[in-house]
Amino acid sequence: MTNIKIIELVGADIYQLDSLILSDVNLDVHEGEFVYITGKVGTGKSSLIKILNAELPLQKGIGEVAGFNLKNIKHKDVSLLRRKLGVVFQDFRLLPDRNVYENLAFVLKATGWKNKLDILERIEQVLKRVGMTKKKQKMPHQLSGGEQQRVVIARAILNNPPLILADEPTGNLDPETSSEIMNLFLELNSEGKTIMMATHDFAAIASKPARTLVCANGFITDSAKEKVLLDFESLLGF
């Protein structure tokens, strides 16, 4: 971890449409950190991820991600911001009419890659990194949930972003596959990637502890600032 901030929110209010979800969010994440976001459904985890990805507008407060000011960010700058991010979704969002290779090539071409040999080489690299080299000709429906999530992670790291945002990446997976995917995220973090992950997977948090943000009652509690071991069940009302 470095002293360089890759995420900074000051006095930020997080809205979903017209509903205030989280109030007065003050958050610093430094390069190389691994940060969990947890909380009940509807407490703001996904909305926070969407603010950082500029999928939702920052209506109040100050926000900066990977050097981009989130307040009143221009449309042309949103695509530039997203090249600095890798986003991993619970529902995969792979193109169903294209195989694994074509899904990844589509992203590279959309972000400015033109040379076919360079595209092939980069796809081979990321598929090897996630253990999916032999599956590049498979269609998404021919893959298991864990295999699809590995492809999604490969897609997220195509442009070698410094920051990966993951929204419930193990939510649809069995415990063994979830553990494998979590280990992959930890390996990426050990290689220098900053990881921010929204998750309900308390078993994973317990077995692979890291700084944890808890969304509850309209606010965020930060374990790094509280300097205590969080009792997740009592904080979340389980």
Asked if 6 and 29 touch (Cβ cutoff 8 Å), the reply is yes
Verify that 211 and 195 share a domain, yes or no: yes
Verify that 112 and 171 share a domain, yes or no: no
pLDDT for the residue 56: 92
106-132: pLDDT as tens digits: 999 998 899 999 999 999 999 999 999
Q: Read off the pLDDT of each residue in 185-203 and give the average, rounded to a whole number.
A: 92
Verify that 76 and 180 share a domain, yes or no: yes
pLDDT reading at 154 higher than 90: yes
Verify that 187 and 153 share a domain, yes or no: no
Verify that 205 and 233 share a domain, yes or no: yes
**What band does 225 get if pLDDT is binned at 50, 70 and 90?**
low
> Domain containing 217 — which CATH number?
3.40.50.300
Residues 6+ apart with CB under 8 A from 58: 12, 51, 70, 71
Minimum mean pLDDT among 34-38, 102-106, 115-119, 176-180: which range?
Answer: 176-180
Number of domains comprising the chain: 2
The share of the chain scoring above pLDDT 70, in percent, equals 94
Verify that 127 and 206 share a domain, yes or no: no
Verify that 76 and 97 share a domain, yes or no: no
Q: Where are the beta strands (DSSP E) in 46-120?
A: 60-65, 68-69, 85-89
Q: Read off the pLDDT of each residue in 7-23 and give the average, rounded to a whole number.
A: 93
Verify that 129 and 224 share a domain, yes or no: no
pLDDT reading at 93 higher than 80: yes
pLDDT for the residue 227: 45
Q: At what angle do helices 116-129 and 145-156 cross, to 10 degrees?
A: 130
Verify that 106 and 144 share a domain, yes or no: yes
| Host domain of residue 150 | 91-160
The share of the chain scoring above pLDDT 90, in percent, equals 74
Verify that 151 and 181 share a domain, yes or no: no
pLDDT reading at 2 higher than 90: no
Last residue of a domain, one of 115, 132, 160: 160
Verify that 152 and 166 share a domain, yes or no: no
With H, G, I as helix, E, B as strand and everything else as coil, classify residue 161: coil
Last residue of a domain, one of 112, 137, 160: 160
Last residue of a domain, one of 160, 178, 196: 160
Residues 6+ apart with CB under 8 A from 223: 211, 212, 213, 214, 229, 230
